Amino acid sequence: MDSTETNARGRRKNKRKWTIVEDDELIKAIYELSMDPKWKCDGGFKNGYSSVPEAQLAKSLPGHNLTAVPHIESRVRHFRTKFGAIEVMLARSGFTWDDQRKMVQCEKQQYDDHCKTFTEAKGLYGVSFPYYDTLSAIYSKDIATGENVEGF
């Protein structure tokens, strides 16, 4: 085995960059999958769900070679994490959603303070997140925001 093969392996060494077209198609596929009770349950998707969008992406994006593991599962995890971070922010005072620009609105200092506790929110300030509405339809009842929590 030569050294170039070794260097290309390992964590974060061979990271895939997703295009906007690929993201759009993935979100469409996940949304369609969420409408099927065979694959969607209360906590998210059932085991093995990623094979369905893999097949759909193979048809809609031939030659892109997107596989369920690691590509699709990690990208879905990324979107779910960012959506959850936005939901947590919007549940707090001072954070609002700008539906025109598709981004969270708040003061920079407030955002920085929030990110000290909630590191998942890093990278969301001033950045458009166009999939929020679709992900809300998919995940909104699955994300814990801390609202309506009762004590003992």
pLDDT tens sequence across 43-101: 688 889 999 999 999 999 999 999 999 899 999 999 999 999 999 999 999 999 999 99
**What rounded mean pLDDT belongs to the chain?**
86
User: Does 146 fall in a domain?
Assistant: no
pLDDT above 90 (res 125): yes
Number of domains present in the structure of the chain: 1
Residue 2 lies in a domain: no
* 33 has pLDDT over 50: yes
Q: Beta strand 44-45 with 40-41: parallel, antiparallel or unpaired? A: antiparallel
Pull the structure tokens for residue 131.
């999939």
pTM above the 0.95 mark?
no
Residue 122 lies inside a defined structural domain of this protein: yes
Q: For residue 37, which amino acid is it?
A: P
Q: Note down the domain range covering 55.
A: 17-139
| Residue 49: inside a domain | yes
